[in-house]
Amino acid sequence: MPTILIDLDYTLLDTQAFSTALGTSLGLSHTEWVQVYNQFVKDNGLFSARDFLRGVESDKSKQFYQVVKQIRRYLYSDTVEFLKQVEQKKYTCVLMTVGEDSWQKDKLTNLRLPAFIQTSIIQDRKANHLADYYEPGMLIVDDRAIELEPIAAQFPETHCYWITRSGGKYLAPAPQCAHTIIKSLNEIKL
């Protein structure tokens, strides 16, 4: 059974639109949200909603979590159909996401992804965890070249897809490894 390892943010999830909605729930413009979020990450490492919301008014915190509960609406338009194809073709599917454990779990729980998708939350490079899932010929889909580079170097028999969606956050630098550049999940031939 073939395996596909896929990323969450900016790959399956329109994280920019989701982030904008989170900021709006707190009364922040997109620019203000990005500044506050980036400062939090700089000061604390990974983003933790619980820690971030300490001291925030109760009603604002509730509004923030209402957006989290509606995260499914921020999936890219091609995500659900792509995941249906992955299931129909009987791929083993691993969604590997980098981030703070409780925050990523909140997002994944509210996404209500199909049960056939295994999830893995990590705090470092994906290449460090790929051996747990690796098989020759597996597909890797990620929006970050920095993730694809070490995977291609350590696991040369993988097929790496660098997804460069419009409005994506990590459009540079391009990976130096052999890869296929795509703008949509629809371009992956399963």
Range of the domain at 121: 3-14+75-187
Name the burial class of residue 108, with classes exposed (0-12), middle (13-18) and buried (19+) by CB atoms within 10 angstroms of its CB.
Answer: middle
Can you give the pLDDT of all 190 residues of the chain as single tens digits?
689 999 999 999 999 999 999 999 999 999 999 999 999 999 999 999 999 999 889 999 999 999 999 999 999 999 999 999 999 999 999 999 999 999 999 999 999 999 999 999 999 999 999 999 999 999 999 999 889 989 999 999 999 999 999 877 777 676 677 688 899 999 999 9
pTM to 2 decimal places: 0.92
- Tokens 């597909």 belong to 139
Q: How far is CA 1 from CA 18, 87, 93, 158, in A?
A: 33, 11, 10, 15
CATH number where 120 lies: 3.40.50.1000
Do 92 and 128 share a structural domain?
Answer: yes
Domain limit, last residue, from 71, 95, 112: 71
Do 171 and 119 share a structural domain?
Answer: yes
Do 97 and 8 share a structural domain?
Answer: yes
DSSP 48: -
